[in-house]
Amino acid sequence: MKWSEQAWAAIGPIYQSIKGMAFINELKEGTLAVEKFRFYMQQDACYLEHFARALALIGARATQVGDALSFIRFAENAIVVENALHESYFIDFNVTAAQLPEPACHHYIHFLKSTAALDAVEVGMAAVLPCFWIYKQIGDHIYSTQQKENNPYKKWIDTYAGEEFGEAVRLAIAICDEAAEATTENGRTMMTEAFIAASRLEFDFWDGAYKERRW
């Protein structure tokens, strides 16, 4: 079995809890309170900036030059998405300039940056993988079950259900599988642990936004 298959199986219960979250359901129905979405977007803009820094660091540390290029491109795209948030959703939803990271965002970005900096590079790759994979799965789930008429959150949904994002996700998974094959048994265990921790932090990020959890 590929590393990615067993890693995805390991987060099965976490993924199911994410799918059942009020935030996700209300986003899909278009009924999510705009205040909660505003809080989410503000935090996500901050998240994307630091996520991009973690991706660039993983790119710099990658053993294969092809992987370095892929991660540098992921980093660029994450900043491009962050800029698009500012140019479109921020205007549509009257969101004010970037805020400091609140607890869920703070925890997640520092987990990603310290893992990317200090752990084996394949562990860093596994730590950022849920950001790709869970968003793709949730994006597809929302897209296929959404309230299609007048959903104010349509643009967000389209970003993550789109084919362009899907391609990046397949590439990130394939890179992790290759890295998992090249490392040791202990390396694979550490990769899975990082993948699980990041998946929990994905849950917590949406939970924090729904509750507008602040310091």
Ligand X SMILES: Cc1ncc(CO)c(N)n1
Distance of closest approach, residue 205 Cβ to ligand X, in angstroms = 4
Distance of closest approach, residue 48 Cβ to ligand X, in angstroms = 6
* Cα separation, 16 vs 95, whole angstroms: 30
Q: CB-wise, 62 or 134, nearer to ligand X?
A: 134
205 binds, options ligand X, ligand Cc1ncsc1CCO, none, Cβ within 5 to 8 A by partner type: ligand X
Based on the number of CB atoms within 10 Å of its own CB, is 154 exposed (0-12), middle (13-18) or buried (19 or more)?
middle
Number of neighbours of residue 43 by Cβ within 10 angstroms: 26
**Looking only at residues 115 through 154 of this chain, which bind ligand X when binding is defined by CB under 6 A?**
131, 135
**Looking only at residues 44 through 83 of this chain, which bind ligand Cc1ncsc1CCO when binding is defined by CB under 6 A?**
74, 77-78, 81
Please tell me whether residue 48 binds ligand X under the rule CB under 6 A.
yes
List CB contacts of 73: < 8 A, sequence separation 6 or more.
none
* Cα separation, 24 vs 85, whole angstroms: 19
Give the residue, chosen from 3, 8, 23, 47, that forms a contact with ligand X under the rule CB under 6 A.
47
**Looking only at residues 186 through 215 of this chain, which bind ligand X when binding is defined by CB under 6 A?**
202, 205
Whats the size of the chain, residue-wise? 215
Distance of closest approach, residue 182 Cβ to ligand X, in angstroms = 26
Q: Tell me the torsion sign for CA atoms 152, 157, 163, 168.
A: positive
DSSP 198: H
Task: Give me 158's structure tokens.
Answer: 């389209």
168 binds, options ligand Cc1ncsc1CCO, ligand X, none, Cβ within 5 to 8 A by partner type: ligand Cc1ncsc1CCO
Number of neighbours of residue 164 by Cβ within 10 angstroms: 9
Site string for ligand Cc1ncsc1CCO, 149-188 (x = CB under 6 A): -------------------x--------------------
Name the residues that contact ligand X, by CB under 6 A: 44, 47-48, 131, 135, 202, 205
